[in-house]
Amino acid sequence: MSEKFLIFDIWGDYAHFKKYYTTSSPLTFSIPPRTAIIGLISAVIGKGKKEYLQIMTKDKAKIAIRVINPIKKVRITQNLINTKDGYWIPVKKGTHEPRTQIRFEYLKDPRFRIYFNHSDMSIFNSLRVNLKNHKSVYTPCLGLSELIADFNFNSESTVSKRLNGKEFVDIHTVIPLDKKIKLNLLQHGKKYFKERIPVEMRPGRIVTEYREILYEIEGKTIRAKIEAALKLDNGDIIVPL
């Protein structure tokens, strides 16, 4: 059976995918981690929090992520409820302030292209129908519930070739760096960054796997040799996370 990928875009005004090592001043990953993408997809097709982590594992779901809009970050100060003293009251009492100010880091005007394949065709078809009709069962978001995500169906494409890593190609998606890879660093005007993101999570929201990924900050292609790349019949070359 041919291997097909659904291709769709997600975007919003802001996004925040909290880095696991930040506390008082939350920082965001530059791209949505795989764990966030499977949550968004599951919201569109109506899979609950307790269910989707089991049906969207790496052996069942293949996901690749492409940067569309240049990655921009801003910091915004927000008022949060102050619970440092173990309680909250809506007015100042003694030395206790009812609110505290925290600086959050956000992605500004984020837009990403998602490539999705699943071994269960009922899940694949359910997502295809909802994307084409611009419908979702639950509200999709970009990391936080108040950061509503919009989405649209782009196309459906079949894998036409599995690349052997013997020649340089222009890869359209982010690349996991634990693969055997050779970069062409002689190209001008490209800015490569790397980041460690969660890719697998088990029930209880316990991360079981992280991967270091490489991306081009303005959404340009990455010229490299890599064995894990897939060429689609629309011309895109992708590497699933």
For 102-124, what is each residue's pLDDT tens digit?
A: 888 999 999 999 999 999 999 99
Q: What pLDDT, on a 0 to 100 scale, did the predictor assign at position 84? A: 63
Q: Which helix (H) or strand (E) holds 195?
A: strand 192-202
Secondary structure class of 37 (helix, strand, coil): helix
- pLDDT reading at 78 higher than 80: no
Residues in the chain: 241
Rounded CA-CA distance 39/46 in Å is 10
Kindly report the pTM of this predicted structure.
0.90
- pLDDT reading at 1 higher than 50: no
Going from N- to C-terminal start, the domains of the chain cover 4-238
CATH class belonging to 4-238: alpha beta
* pLDDT tens digits for range 153-177: 999 999 999 988 889 999 999 999 9
* pLDDT tens digits for range 28-67: 999 999 999 999 999 999 998 778 888 999 999 999 999 9
